[in-house]
Amino acid sequence: MFLFIQPLFLYFEHDLGVYSVYPYSDEIIFVHTTITVILMVLSIIFCISKIYLRFQEIQYLVVILVSQNVGLTSSFIISILLLGEEVSDVSPVPTHFLLSYTIITLSIGLALFCITFLRFYILIHKGQYRKGSSKDRLRSKLETKSYLPMAIMYSIGFVFVLQYLFRNTGFVQYESIFILVMLLLIFYSMIFVLPEQLVILYCKYRFKSFNFESNGKYLLPLAEDEDNQY
* pLDDT tens-digit map of 18-49: 888 899 999 999 999 999 999 999 988 888 88
State yes or no: pLDDT of 152 exceeds 80.
Answer: no
Q: What is the dihedral of CA 192, 197, 202, 206, to 10 degrees?
A: 130
In single-letter form, the type of residue at position 209 comes to S
Most confidently modeled of 136-150, 160-174, 177-191? 177-191
- Over residues 52-76, the pLDDT tens digits come to 778 888 888 998 999 899 889 999 9
CA distance 61 to 201: 7
CA distance 36 to 19: 22
Contacts of 180 (CB under 8 A, 6+ apart): 79, 82, 83, 165
219: which strand partners? 212
- Over residues 75-94, the pLDDT tens digits come to 999 999 988 888 776 667 67
- Whole-structure pTM value: 0.76
Q: Which of 121, 146, 128 is nearest to 199 (CA)?
A: 121
Phi, psi for residue 212 in degrees, rounded to 5 = -90, 160
**What is the distance, to the nearest Å, from the Cα of residue 67 to the centroid of all Cα atoms in its chain?**
7
Domain boundaries, the chain: 2-229
CA distance 158 to 108: 8
Contacts of 173 (CB under 8 A, 6+ apart): 86
- Over residues 7-21, the pLDDT tens digits come to 888 988 998 898 888
